[in-house]
Structure 1
Amino acid sequence: MADAFSDNSENAIRRQVDVQVKSTTPLEKLNDFYQINKTCDFIFQNHFEKVALQFPDDLLHDSTAIAAEIERITQIKVFILGDTSYGSCCVDEVAAEHVGADCVVHYGQACLSPSKRLPLMYIFDRRRIDVAKCTSAFRELYPDTQADVLVLYDVRYAHAIDDVVAMLHDDYPNLVTSQLAVEGEMCYGLNKREPDQEQDGNQLCCHFGRRFSLKTGLSIKDYGVFYVGQEGASLRNFMMTWNRCAFSSFDPATSTGRAESVGVNRMLMKRYYVIERAKDAKVVGILVGTLGVANYLSIIQQLKETIHKAGKKTYMFAMGKLNVAKLANFMEIDVFVLIACPENSLLDSGGFYRPVVTPFEMEVACNRNREWSEEYVTDFGHLLPGGQSHVPLDEGQEHSDQTDVSLITGALRNYKLDTEPVTSHSSSVVLRKQTLTVANTNSAASFLAHRSWRGLEQKLGETPVVKAVEGRKGIAIAYEEEGAVP
């Protein structure tokens, strides 16, 4: 292996890099692992002619073989969607529409968020799990056989849950199993999601693509929760939402079970800190982190109204997958609010220059009628009118002189609407005497006016036209015309 920082340019060009390449699944196992026959039946029954197959990065190594097999059986055109604009757990309907697809087949991990545009089918890769060790871990974690326990699981282990429950049901009569259920008539292969209601004397609940029935008189906080799957976004989402429940989990990758710690309390305190930062903010950036989850436009409009009535300015950004460098380009923004599916909205913004909050946290910061309590909402659909967590705005909030004290700076703040006149409705940047002067019409424009670097300038007509010439060859450490490095 050559040294990556070698002074020898030839070695630098020829150096080798170790890349871990996943082996493809054998052809004889493809059908069972990816349910190809079931997918083809879905295509035949609905007479689709163009199908988009969406894969996460960890399953792309099998994508071409799956697409070829589906094309061979159905004789239709198949497109592969990889490197999705946002989280791979969400259905990328926009990319599918770009190729004119009639439907989407989504593979791998899924948040089961409702989508509206195209017919959809979920195919979960079947991960291995030792059912005997899973049930053994459950018995150790719940020695009381009369305990009320709800079983949740990663969608990739759904194929084995019936076997797990069958081994436990006789000894645990109060065991409740969740079923996968998706909202809408355009999703095939899963149960249809229904609103919470009474059924057979029990309370039927539907949350995060899971449907389960609780005893009448009991709520979710009266149950212990046993989660089958690895630590990650799904488990974190459940624990934050049902933060009054005692969680335990079984990791099929290591075949070990454990009681989850009280770390969720620390997470809640960290989230309360970013809410205080949001209350102090004057300029808010709305990050569009999904184009596939239903009602994302409605929550954007509601957030704009809520933030405006709290006396803050808003700007909207659509930048795909987020990272520190992207958001650092907008230092005039005091806090960002991310519109995404429940599993992707809880972004740890510790490494970012500005906090990134959820729509619920932004509402706590801006809506005086909403208070911080044991309720924590990650599904923005619940915040909309008609949702179970919707709280109307105080109509007189923007004209109120009520103040409170920032717990971070100690300064007074209020919810009164900033009535500073704006001279341009179409842009924050206006022309004065035909010079590129930024008008001090709002907080962000004022910040931009004092930046030492404001981006590239076009300078139309000022750059001379020159003849194209041959450029340098080689690498920066030693271009060919410079000779060898001593």
Structure 2
Amino acid sequence: MTTSNTFSSSDTAALERETELTDEPTVTQEQMWNDKHQKTAVDWIRQNAYQRVCLQFPDAYLPHSNAICDKLKQVLPGINFFILADTSYGSCCVDEIAAAHIDSDSLIHFGNACRSKVSRLPVLYMFPELPIDLQQLFEKMSMLKDNSKDKVLIVYLDIGYHHLLENDLTDMETASLSKNLKETLQCKDVHIVAYPAVEEKDQILCNDEQICVFVGEDNSRFFNLSLTKKAQQWFIFNPLTNTLNEKNPLTANYIRRRYYYIEKCKDAQTLGLVVGTLTASGYLDVISRLQEMAKSRGVKTQLISVGRINPAKLANFLEIDCFVLIGCPFNNIYNSKEFYKPVVSVFEAEMALNPAWHMKYPEAYVTDFTELLPEGSNFIAFNKENIARQDVSLVSGRLRHATIDDSVELANTNALSAQQQALVTQGKMEVMTTNVGLTYEDRTWKGLEPALGCTEPAKLQKGLSGIPIKYTHD
């Protein structure tokens, strides 16, 4: 009889496992830390009199972390610096939880950043300065002359190319990048902005008559930007390959798959609210709102916090029909097809649970869940009185029943006669439990039994030493 290795791994897997890198491009130390970066960081620390500063690096930047930390210690002796190498959820989010463990009073964040509002620590963002051939940029952009003539052109600079807004152009006759593009392409107007925006006032409103160009790679930031901003056409200029390609973020297959998951969310009897952040402002309000909408429909919710999610982690929750990921805007893991159950965003859950979205097509996709709160631009009030008692599932074709309110159900039960109530009473040999939390007790494996007070105290003994693959005995 052979044993399957599906639920186990080899003894050397932990030692041979490689670090999973993100879509960040490879950067050198000179690109991510120069004299300008050092002056900005030193002035920021001195002006605010910080004493315990955390340096958060993504995995791709870790080889340069010690050198940067040493340079700061030389310039600022007496200041305590700490390197954060393992973030709880994603490298783009500020890891305030890890910083709180060492009682830090400030944090410097390197690399990809979602710029989600933080509430516990002051944060300084440090972006690299990646090289770009401006001559190639103008040559490729000149191909858009017919498309962008007499229209508004918006150029979004990805992380790594924000320095184009600070440095004057020396190879061009004029000193403004936007002026060169406007004269070359004969545009109505040209806006060059950094993405993500430093402040909300720096954001540009897009419409269906504008041409948008993203200077960077086809990464999660472009995915987020192109979904949330309306434009007539989207283009990507990749400075690494000097190519300009047209991109359509909302393909037909993508739209069909997301609406299929929304219908699966409507069919769900149990929703798993996966907390993908503990620092973004407003995540507790979103959790309360989702719980309220689910409860009004008679749908049970389970709050889950497992750090970085993957298919193996979420597969442990067999009773949950659909997961709702509450994370930062750049966390587009819900687009993965590897999960066993659907994983939807907060916006998709809002469309499924809020009756105000019924038969309403959104003008733009929403990835920032704070926009769905009362202060947000895409907020729609929730009224449980508008929930349809019966609805037909577009996936299974079956009739869905929504429990509007507990008082309504109680009144219906009281209206039944004694004979009718006897018919609906559950039998003694029931195999289903009404409480989702109790179903975990029916699992075959439940871990160690506490058996408090039933066993004698064990004697203290010297433990094992070494690595888990092979312990050594003294």
Picking from 84, 87, 93, the partner of 2:87 is 84
- Partner in structure 1 of residue 222 of structure 2: 235
Evaluate the alpha carbon distance shift between residue 471 and residue 262 of structure 1 in structure 2; reply closer, same or farther with a 3 A threshold: closer
User: Alignment partner of 2:100: what SS?
Assistant: helix
Contact kept, 8 Å, 2:55 with 2:81, in 1: the verdict is yes
Aligned length: 422
CA contact (8 A) 1:364 1:370 kept: yes
User: Retained in 2: the 8 A contact 1:227–1:248?
Assistant: yes
Q: Hey, what does 1:95 align to over in structure 2?
A: 98
- Judged with a 3 Å threshold, the aligned counterparts in structure 2 of structure 1 residues 17 and 451 are, in CA distance, closer, same or farther, namely closer
| Contact persistence 2:276–2:305 (CA under 8 A) | yes
How many angstroms apart in 1 are the aligned matches of 2:27 and 2:258? 41
Residue 176 of structure 2 corresponds to residue 169 of structure 1: no
**Structure 1 position 444 matched with structure 2 position 458:** no
Tell me, which stretches of 5 or more residues in structure 2 are unaligned? 1-11, 170-176, 411-429
Deviation at 1:269, TM superposition (A): 1.7
| 1:35 has 2:42 as partner | no
Identity of aligned residues (%): 34
- State the shift of 1:470 in Å: 9.2
Give the residue type in structure 2 aligned to 1:320. Answer: G
Distance (whole Å) between structure 2 residues aligned to residue 269 and residue 29 of structure 1? 41
Match of 2:110 in 1: 107
Displacement of 1:401 in angstroms is 5.5
CA-based RMSD of the aligned residues comes to: 3.6
In the alignment, the residues of structure 2 paired with residue 474 and residue 94 of structure 1 have an alpha-carbon distance, to the nearest angstrom, of: 28
- Residues 148-163 of structure 1 mapped to structure 2, 5 A cutoff: 148-160=152-164, 163=169
Structure 1 contact 240–264 (Cα < 8 Å) conserved: no
Q: Does the 8 Å contact 1:289/1:320 carry over to 2?
A: yes
The code of the aligned residue for 1:193 comes to: E
The amino acid across from 2:342 in the alignment is P
CA distance in 2, matches of 1:142, 1:387: 37
1:286 has 2:273 as partner: yes
Q: Distance in 2 between matches of 1:16 and 1:439?
A: 44
CA shift digits 1:192-218 (9 cap, x unpaired): 433xxxxxxxxxxxxxxx523x6xxxx
Aligned mates of 1:18, 1:336 — CA distance in 2: 28
Q: Secondary structure at the match of 2:140?
A: helix
Q: How many Å separate the matches in 1 of 2:103 and 2:17?
A: 38
**Conserved 8 A contact 1:405-1:413:** yes
CA contact (8 A) 1:108 1:124 kept: yes
Within 5 Å, give how 1:232-381 maps onto structure 2: 232-242=219-229, 245-261=232-248, 264-345=251-332, 347-371=334-358, 372-375=360-363, 376-381=365-370
1:433: which partner in 2? Answer: none
Cα 1:73/1:269, change in 2 over 3 Å: same
1:47 equivalent to 2:49? Answer yes
Picking from 381, 391, 413, the partner of 1:392 is 381
Q: 1:239 to 1:269 in 2, by over 3 A?
A: farther
Deviations 1:255-312 (A, max 9, x none): 1110114653322221111101100000111111011211111111111111111210
User: Quick one: structure 1 residues 273 and 243, their matched pair in 2 at CA, closer, same or farther if it must change by over 3 Å?
Assistant: farther
Partners in 2 of 1:30 and 1:127 — Cα distance?
Answer: 8
Residues of 2 paired with 1:61 and 1:370: CA distance? 48
One of 115, 132, 137 as aligned partner of 1:134: 137
Do the aligned partners of 2:152 and 2:188 also contact (CA within 8 Å) in 1? yes
Q: Which amino acid aligns with 2:154?
A: L
Q: CA deviation at 1:366?
A: 0.7
Distance change >3 Å, CA 146–CA 474, structure 1 → 2 = closer
Task: State the alpha-carbon separation in 1 of the partners of residues 372 and 84 from structure 2.
Answer: 31
| Secondary structure class of the residue paired with 2:312 | helix
Answer yes or no: is 1:65 the counterpart of 2:51.
Answer: no
Does structure 1 conserve the Cα–Cα contact (< 8 Å) formed by 2:433 and 2:439? no
**1:121 is matched with which residue?**
124
Work out the CA distance in 2 between the residues paired with 1:229 and 1:181: 10
Which residue of the partner structure matches residue 414 of structure 2? none
The range that moved more, 48-57 or 142-151, is 142-151
Deviation, structure 1 residue 179: 3.2
- In the TM superposition, what is the alpha-carbon distance from 1:457 to its structure 2 partner? 3.1
Q: Residue in 2 aligned with 1:193? A: 200
- CA distance in 2: counterparts of 1:84 and 1:472, whole angstroms: 28
Instruction: Return the offset for 1:410.
Output: 1.0
Q: Does the residue aligned with 1:329 lie in a helix, a strand or coil?
A: coil
Displacement of 1:166 after TM fit? 4.7
> How many Å separate the matches in 2 of 1:191 and 1:53?
20
1:367 Cα deviation after fit: 0.8
Distance 1:64 1:193 in 2: 34
* Partner residue of 2:372 out of 383, 386, 402: 383
Question: Which of 182, 193, 212 is the matching residue for 1:179?
Answer: 193
Q: Deviations over 1:91-135 (max 9, x none)?
A: 112222221222111111111222222211111011222221122
Corresponding residue SS for 1:248: strand
Query: Given the superposition, is the C-alpha separation of residues 17 and 470 from structure 1 closer, same or farther in structure 2, using an over 3 Å criterion?
Result: closer
Structure 1 unaligned spans of 5+: 1-11, 183-189, 195-209, 422-437, 481-486
TM normalised by structure 2 equals 0.79
Q: 1:298 to 1:176 in 2, by over 3 A?
A: farther
Q: Which amino acid aligns with 1:241?
A: T
Equivalent residues in 2 for 1:458-469, closer than 5 Å = 458-460=450-452, 465=458
- How far apart, in 2, do the equivalents of 1:466 and 1:266 lie? 62
Q: Which amino acid aligns with 2:401?
A: N
Compared CA separation, residues 17 and 123, structure 1 to 2 (3 A)? closer
8 A contact 2:385–2:404 mirrored in 1: no
Per-residue Cα deviation, 1:153-211 (whole angstroms, up to 9, x for no partner): 212211125655353132344343243488xxxxxxx85433xxxxxxxxxxxxxxx52
Q: Answer yes or no: is the 8 Å Cα contact 1:440–1:446 preserved in 2.
A: no
